Structure 1
Amino acid sequence: MPFLGILEDKALPHVPGTVILDEAQAHSGDVTGNLKHGRGKNSHIVLVPQPSDDPNDPLNWPQSKKILCMAIVGFGAMLYAGTIGPLTNAGLAVIAADFKTEIGAIVLDNGYQVLVVGGTGPIISALARKYGKRPCFLFSGLACLVGSIVGSTAKNEAAYLTARTVQGFAVTAYESLIFTIVGDLFFVHERGLYISIGSFLLAGIANLCSIVTGPITNSLGWKYLFHFFILFGGIQFLLQLLFVPETQFRRDHRNDIDELVEEDLAVSNKGATTTTIEKAGSPSPPSLPPRKTWREELAIFTGTYSTDSFLQLIIAPFAICLNLAALWVILVAAFFVGEYVIVAYVLAQLFSVPPYNLTAAGVGYLSLGPLIGGILASLTLALVSDPIIRWATRRNRGVYEPEYRLIPLLPAVAIGPALIGFGYVTQAGQSLYGAAFLYGLAVFSIMFVLTQTNSYALDAYRGMSNEIFIASMAAKNFLLFPYSYFINDYMAREGPVKVFTVFGGIGIGLLVTMPVVFVWGKRYRSFWARHDLLEKFHIKTHQEI
């Protein structure tokens, strides 16, 4: 039995997702000796997936180039996916007063934006799989610029709604594809750091947004939020255009040793195993293409990456819900992001009235708590996520199981006490500092959930990870849209205690299911490999491209 009680599978010689990661601990030199390894202190680490010999393979790019690409895409994720949604949250009361309407009406306008994000998710997924990620990112940047220009000149609620809706088209690519970029550029033993950074940029940075936008709304007016977005969005678009080439790559599927099922990679005394590994790590034909120049990498379209029909590609993110583990990741991630957004939706409602009577800037400053919580969670995960899997892999005789990514989920149970406590504090009109602390504790928990479930999806089901992230993003936004309809009325009618007790309890209930996925996850990966329902329905994910 693998370390920590994960149930072993006997139906397949090699379960996809399970790999020899630590060659020294596995004593597998005769099996993995032909494979490419890390360098320096990671020389005992088998590279998963195996890079090709093509110098244009993103896995072979210099580390500095990979980090630059991640930094620019991360900047885009911070702007579009992390900031567009909460851009006007701190000033909802001010905007409603300008348009002589209720706060709930402006919240609903923002709700239409998330509806656009969710609805365009499958389309962006299909476009990214067929034509690559680069054109999707560039389209997102243009949509943001157009929406921001409309918002900066809005004179009525209809124009504001148009601006927020158009901005919604800018969110989808950066919210869903940032994690697949990590899979494009980095190996399994490197991903934890970048996944945690990506999760913080998507969720944690939204709190910095409110801290900044509140004072801007107070001092300059809410339209300046759109003015600044034109500036920073334009800078990011140029950086993306000039320095982030296409990261999607046509690699021999035999190099994806984490997805092979033919042989048992952990058994070193089988001649057939060595043969399979040699095939996986064998060099490409001698006639390798030359390294692309910077000018060549500026191409927006780099070819077609799938021969499937566009309709089939659109269906794929919905179809992967047939995989119960993928469905679990989608539901858990979507609900926990929703927990954070619910608080954001009601902040102005709770704190702009007696006994708090906060201005837009004051409401924005409340986000210092969740900002600190998000930073602490991200730093913690960046420091411990990859070391934890290396520790568990060593204890498991050098074999890595993706379920080890779920170990850091344990602190996330704090979501229940945090939300319930936040409800009691705000209903009683008690300390602002206490409310900010509890809000921060909730975001701390949410960051653990988002980071580790995304890491698990990427490692356990890398072949369908693109579809999982798209489906998760769509589910989250389709969940947030009805929230925008009823959450403010529900809060006014029932009070914070009841509302946050309900949502905190549901969060704990979802986390209770984690041990089931952890213990039975490997067996389910094997079951899916043997009974792939997508294959039976002739629906392909990007692992077959």
Structure 2
Amino acid sequence: MGLGVLENRSHNQHVPGTVILAEKESNPVHNSGTAKHGTGKHKDIILTPQPSNDPNDPLNWPYYKKVLVVLILVYGSCLCACSTGPLLNASLFVLSQQFNRPIGDITVLSGYQLLVAGASGPFLSAFSRKYGKRPVFVFSSFACLIGTIIGSASNSYSTLLAARVIQGLSLAAYESLVFTVVGDIFFVHERGFWTSVMAFTLTCVSNLSSVVAGKITFSLGWHYLFHILNACLGLQIILLLLFVPETSYIRHDVFGQTQLEVENRQDNATPKEETEAYRVENVEMESTNVPVKKSFLQEMAIFTGSYSDDRLIPLVIAPIVSCANLAALWTIVITGTITSFYVAVAYVIAQLFSPPPYLLSAAAVGYMSVGPFIGGALGSIAVGLVMDPLTIWLTKKNNGVYEPEFRLVTCVFGLLCGASLFGFGAVSQSQGNIYIIDFMWGLTLFGTAFIIGPCSTYALDAFRGMSNEIFIANVMFKNFLFYGYSYFVNNWTGSAGPVPPFFTFGGISLGLVATTAIVYVFGKRYRSFWHAHNILDKAGINTHPGI
């Protein structure tokens, strides 16, 4: 048992996701002078996955280039996911009066957008698996731009609905594929921080956009929400076209193959000799056929070839089939459900605090999102600073062997989600101090950061080959939840008060966080089981075993 993670019953069987990461602390059998290592304080860390000798391999990109790619995609997520989703939250009361419709009808505008986001997910997943992520990001940004242009010109409920539906086509890629890009360009010991950056963007920036949107609606009118977003999207599309190359790469994981190959070798040589000989053999073979570095125009082509031999139809259903993996399903459910609870708060904030006794304006309703932004920011910073160092420390304590379950240790702080939802419901019901209510909303986001970041990194490391499908399935699940909420959360809160819905959400949060202990203890055994009974492979949908 490695620090509470149960070993698989067949100790000689390699379990995908389990790797030798800290060579100094590992057994001598794992030492290898040919494996590539990190630099500086990570010089004793074996790079996983092992980069090829191809200069076009995203793992070999200069670090500044990787950071630039991530920042441009983060900017895209801020616009196409974090801004479009909550764009109208602070304006619900204003729009309800202008269009002379119930506030629930205005909420459904966002609901339909999220429905489109969920429904389009499998198709974007299939296309990104087949032809790469770059064309999907480009399509998504342009879809957001077109929808936003329509929103700029809309003066009726039906036109605004059309704008929101077209914007919905942009959400899936910028909510899911951004996580898999982290796996494409960063090594295992670096992923925790960058996954936390993505999680921060998707959970916290949406609250900041509500602050800005409320002020814009109050000062300039809601049309300017779309006008300003148009200009920002134009800049993002230019940056995307010029500086974000394709990150998908057909990789032959030398390090992973080495571990599997050693297990199948005869016993006439020591394991250390077998491992070193095989690595040298692969490195020498690879070094004799080094591709030429692509030119700028080649690298920035929209389409760069096919990355899968599978037909599109099997790839479309792959996100649904991936839910047969119970650990993947758990990741989808816990992150999607807990995310949906803080979104439920955003749905009712204008309803609760625009009427008496609070009488908040659209701008003041928007300012309430400062609390969750600060809470989410602090949580994300804490996770980003702690997760990778803690994981490396646990790996060294485990004789240099990294288990993806180590990522889940920090999920214990996710219990704050449930506690703060109880507090939000109780204080809102008693019409208490608005700052305490906002603090509770912020505490919800603080706890959420300790769920989304670690669980997303766990999925990326434990099931790297099907991470596209897992994150797309997550987008489908949570956006369908959001769509459902748009039909009943406002009515439930209006008829029963804040306590019943938010006490329910808080109890579910506590229960879901408690299940993390089960996944931590039995996760490795389940990874071993899935490796032997991979339903996607049996269905003819190829996944890549590399981490």
How does the TM-score come out when normalised to structure 1?
Answer: 0.96
- Write the deviation string for residues 174-227 of structure 1: whole angstroms up to 9, x where unpaired: 111001000010000011110000001111111101111101000000010000
In structure 2, what is the Cα distance between the partners aligned to 1:269 and 1:255? 15
Does structure 2 conserve the Cα–Cα contact (< 8 Å) formed by 1:28 and 1:268?
Answer: no
Name the aligned partner's letter for residue 505 of structure 2. Answer: F
Rounded to whole Å, the distance in 2 between the matches of 1:524 and 1:392 is 20
1:61 aligns with 2:48: no
Deviations for 1:139-174, whole angstroms, at most 9, x for unmatched residues?
011111101110011110000100111101111111
C-alpha distance in structure 2 between counterparts of 1:279 and 1:135, whole Å: 36
Distance 1:317 1:261 in 2: 27
2:77 match: 77
> Equivalents in 1 of 2:546, 2:406: separation in Å?
26
The 1:30–1:457 alpha-carbon spacing in structure 2 relative to 1, beyond 3 Å, is closer
Letter of the structure 1 residue corresponding to residue 172 of structure 2: T
* Cα distance in structure 2, aligned partners of 1:118 and 1:279: 46
Equivalent residue pairs, number: 542
Q: Does 1:8 align with 2:7?
A: yes
Mapped to 1, the partners of 2:256 and 2:30 lie a distance apart of 19
Render the CA deviation track for 1:292-337: whole Å, top value 9, x for unaligned: 1222212100001111111000011111111110010011111011
Measured in 1, the distance between the counterparts of 2:239 and 2:253 equals: 32
Determine the C-alpha separation between the residues in 2 that align with 1:252 and 1:465: 17
Taking the TM superposition and a 5 Å limit, the aligned residue runs for 1:242-391 are 242-256=242-256, 261-263=260-262, 269-278=271-280, 281-391=283-393
User: C-alpha separation between the residues in 2 aligned to 1:272 and 1:538?
Assistant: 33
CA–CA distance in structure 1, aligned partners of residues 317 and 277 of structure 2 = 37
Matched residue, 2:229: 229
Partner residue, 2:541: 539
Task: Provide closer, same or farther for how the CA distance between residues 530 and 160 of structure 1 changes in structure 2, counting only shifts above 3 A.
Answer: same
- Alpha-carbon distance change, 256 to 470 in structure 1, aligned in 2, over 3 angstroms: farther
Q: Is the counterpart of residue 49 in structure 1 residue 49 in structure 2?
A: yes
2: distance between equivalents of 1:71 and 1:8?
A: 38
Distance verdict in 2 for CA 1:370–1:492, change over 3 Å: same
Counterparts in 2 of 1:128-277, with a 5 A limit? 128-256=128-256, 261-263=260-262, 269-277=271-279
**Quick one: which amino acid aligns to residue 154 of structure 1?**
S
Q: Which residue of 2 aligns with 1:399?
A: 401
The answer to whether structure 1 residue 450 and structure 2 residue 452 are counterparts is: yes
- Corresponding letter in the other structure for 1:498: P
Q: What letter is aligned with 2:359?
A: N
Provide, for residues 338-396 of structure 1, a one-character-per-residue CA deviation record: whole Å limited to 9, x for no partner: 01110011011101111111000110111111011011011101110100001101110
1:424-460 deviation line (CA, Å, top 9, x unaligned)? 1111111010000000000111111111110000011
Deviations 1:475-517 (A, max 9, x none): 1111111111111111111110111000100111111111100
Contact 2:32 / 2:275 at 8 angstroms: preserved in 1? no
Give me the whole-angstrom Cα distance separating, in 2, the residues matched to 1:516 and 1:261: 27
* 8 Å CA contact retained: 1:50, 1:257: no
Cα gap change, 1:282 to 1:200, in 2 (>3 Å): farther
Shift of the 106–280 alpha-carbon distance from structure 1 to 2, 3 Å rule, reads farther
**Aligned-partner residue type, residue 352 of structure 2:** L
Aligned equivalents of 2:439, 2:334: Cα separation in 1:
23
How many angstroms apart in 2 are the aligned matches of 1:283 and 1:48? 19
TM superposition shift of 1:16: 0.8
Return the letter of the residue paired with 2:499. V
How big is the shift at 1:264? Answer: 5.9
Please state if 1:429 is matched with 2:431. yes
* Alpha-carbon distance in 1 for matches of 2:158, 2:256: 50
| 2:23/2:31 contact within 8 Å kept | no
The answer for the alignment partner of 1:117 in structure 2 is 117
User: Partners of 1:280 and 1:467 in 2: how far apart?
Assistant: 30
1:184–1:278 CA distance, 2 compared to 1 (3 A): same
Paired residue type of 1:100: N
One-letter amino acid matched to 1:187:
F
Q: Which of 465, 475, 492 is the aligned partner of 1:473?
A: 475
Amino acid at match of 2:69: C
| 1:14 shift after superposition | 1.7
Contact 1:393-1:400 within 8 A present in 2 as well: yes
1:510 to 509, 512, 531: 512
CA shift in 2, pair 1:160/1:444, >3 Å? same
Tell me if the contact between 1:151 and 1:160 (Cα under 8 Å) persists in the aligned partners: yes
Q: Find the counterpart in structure 2 of residue 22 from structure 1.
A: 22
Q: 1:382 to 1:264 in 2, by over 3 A?
A: farther
Tell me by how many angstroms 1:253 deviates: 3.8
Corresponding letter in the other structure for 2:474: S
User: In structure 2, what residue type is equivalent to 1:116?
Assistant: V
- With 278-287 and 474-483 compared, the bigger mean Cα shift is at 278-287
CA deviation profile, 1:68-108 (whole Å, cap 9, x unmatched): 11110111011111121001101111111111111100101
Q: Secondary structure at the match of 1:8?
A: coil
The two structures, once aligned, show a CA RMSD in angstroms of 1.8
Stretch deviating more after TM superposition (66-75 or 20-29): 20-29
Q: Distance in 2 between matches of 1:433 and 1:204?
A: 18
- Corresponding position of 2:465: 463
Deviation at 1:542, TM superposition (A): 4.9
Q: 1:217 to 1:268 in 2, by over 3 A?
A: farther
Q: Note if contact 1:30-1:268 (Cα within 8 Å) is conserved in structure 2.
A: no
1:28 Cα offset (Å): 3.7
Determine the C-alpha separation between the residues in 2 that align with 1:256 and 1:125. Answer: 25
**Structure 1 Cα separation of the partners of residues 282 and 492 of structure 2:** 57
| Contact 1:129 1:542 (C-alpha < 8 Å) held by counterparts | no
Instruction: Compute the TM-score of the two structures, normalised by the length of structure 2.
Output: 0.96
Match of 1:438 in 2: 440
Q: Distance in 2 between matches of 1:452 and 1:411?
A: 11
SS at match of 2:323: helix
What secondary structure does 1:300 align onto? Answer: coil
Per the alignment, in what secondary structure is the counterpart of residue 356 of structure 1?
coil
Contact 1:204 1:447 in 2 (8 A): no
Report what 1:127 is aligned to. Answer: 127
Change (3 A) 1:354 1:305: same
Aligned residues of 2:16 and 2:545 also touching (Cα < 8 A): no
Give the partner amino acid of 2:185. L
SS in 2 for 1:354: coil
Give yes or no for contact 2:30–2:272 (8 Å, CA) kept in 1: no
Shift of 1:269: 3.9
Return the offset for 1:271: 4.1
Cα separation, 2, equivalents of 1:392 and 1:525: 19
In terms of mean alpha carbon deviation, does 328-337 or 530-539 score higher? 530-539
Q: Percent identity?
A: 49
In the TM superposition, residue 544 of structure 1 has moved relative to its aligned partner by: 8.9
Q: CA–CA distance in 1 between the matches of 2:459 and 2:260?
A: 18
